[in-house]
Amino acid sequence: MPLFFYMFPLVLGLHCAPPNRSEGKLTTCDSSQQNATPYKMSSINANFAFNLYWRFTVETTDWNIFFFPVSIFSALAMLSLETCHCTQTQIINSLEFKLTDRPMTEIQQGFRHLICLLNFPKKELELQVGNTFFIGKQLKPLHSFLDDVKSLYETEVFSTDFSNVSAAQKEINSHVEKQTKEKVVGLIEDLKPNTMMALENYTYFKAQWANLFDPSKTEKGSSFSVDKTTIVQVPMMHQMEQYYHLVDTELNCAVLQIDYSKSALALFVLPREGQMEWVEGPMSSETLKKWNCLLQKGWIDLFAPKFSISATYDLGAIFLKIGIRDAFADNANFLELTGDSGLQLSNAAHKAVLHIGEKGTETVIVPEVRFLYQPEITLLHLIIKFDRSFLLLILKKSTRSILFLGKVVDPTEV
């Protein structure tokens, strides 16, 4: 089964300047012929993504975490377009921007360039990010708002009868299900009766590994350590192949890069036993740049789990904690959207479904990592077995954007 990834809000970018350009390796040096706007935003996007990740770790201690930073980032960026005064300032500040440093028009164009580069269908890799506004029938969106969201973000706007809660909920869920090719079902389960506006953000990602795993070599039941007392059984894929990898002695982890056949790559980060917090605490764009410069290609005896997991987040609660308060309060200012006062954001949901298998992105896992360097043997290779908790990042090569960021604690929890 190929890799599928579906979610609702966020984006990360990163870049590095390694001394040499390598085929297959993520590089950031050769950007002269590409649009520079996404690169200017890369460190800002990275800060936003890791900020969200740390918030999720507090909310879901010792549990699976995964989300699509680009998706959440783009949703907030679009929302900021239609807000005024304090509401807009809070959203822009949460995205790590400062209106005193850049004009709003430059920020919005940067968002637009990033989204354009993210949406591209291909046979081996398909990535589409989209936003949809559902607005109460009694509200009349301004023409300027409709023009802006269509031209800048290719966003759909639907007039919805929120007085019929069950019908409105079904309409929103059906739209999400259709856009994610039936991979995200039942996103909204508790729509509030007084809802006047809902913003839905979706992401669809499907990709194939550059080097497919042989299904005949997948072990049906292999042990995966969730914690010191919990062991679960998962199918474990196996492949001997040349991969870019490194052992970070400072952070006590192994980093493995697995390329997709087109335009994207995955970084699997396996901490030593009990060292997850040691690794995730200092994670930043600088960490990713360092890794990119140190990755070396060599033979790896790889064991990676095959599994499917899902996660749902109430982004409203998270947004409040990162400083977006007015959008959900009585003093919200969305006058640029409808010209009506008293309108406030009523729902912000994020659901992600991830599958990893022999053909493509479905997910990877970790319990015992064995760092076996054997200098006395002619053929040197590293054995990496993802049989305990690990971090997973999926990046778009050309923009260095983090498409996916997550932590796999228990691959059997759906």
pLDDT (0 to 100) of residue 27:
39
Chunked into runs of 10 residues, the chain (414 residues) has average pLDDT values of 33 29 39 46 75 84 82 77 76 73 70 64 63 82 78 78 91 84 76 79 76 92 93 95 94 93 88 91 88 92 88 79 79 70 69 77 33 41 91 82 87 82
Of 280, 301, 297, the residue nearest 246 (C-alpha): 297
Q: Which CATH class is domain 3-208+309-355?
A: alpha beta
pLDDT (0 to 100) of residue 12:
23
The DSSP bridge partners found for residue 3 are: 207
Asked if 168 and 161 touch (Cβ cutoff 8 Å), the reply is yes
pLDDT (0 to 100) of residue 116:
65
**215-306+364-408 has the same fold as 3-208+309-355:** no
Q: Which residues have CB under 8 Å from 135's CB, separation 6+?
A: 141, 157, 158, 159, 160, 196, 197, 337, 338
pLDDT (0 to 100) of residue 143:
81
Phi, psi of 385 (to 5 degrees): -120, 115
pLDDT (0 to 100) of residue 31:
37
Asked if 216 and 192 touch (Cβ cutoff 8 Å), the reply is no
pLDDT (0 to 100) of residue 267:
94
Q: Per the confidence metrics, is the pTM higher than 0.85?
A: no
Q: Indicate the fold that domain 215-306+364-408 takes in CATH.
A: Alpha-1-antitrypsin; domain 1 (2.30.39)
Asked if 65 and 406 touch (Cβ cutoff 8 Å), the reply is yes
Of 160, 224, 229, 170, the residue nearest 195 (C-alpha): 160
Rounded CA-CA distance 46/14 in Å is 6
pLDDT (0 to 100) of residue 296:
94
- Taken in order 142, 100, 116, 268, the sign of the CA dihedral is negative
User: Would you kindly state where each structural domain of the chain is located, as residue ranges?
Assistant: 3-208+309-355, 215-306+364-408
Phi, psi of 33 (to 5 degrees): -100, 5
Rounded CA-CA distance 281/263 in Å is 29
| Burial class of residue 93, CB neighbours in 10 A (0-12, 13-18, 19+) | middle
On the CB side of 118, CA atoms within 13 Å amount to 33
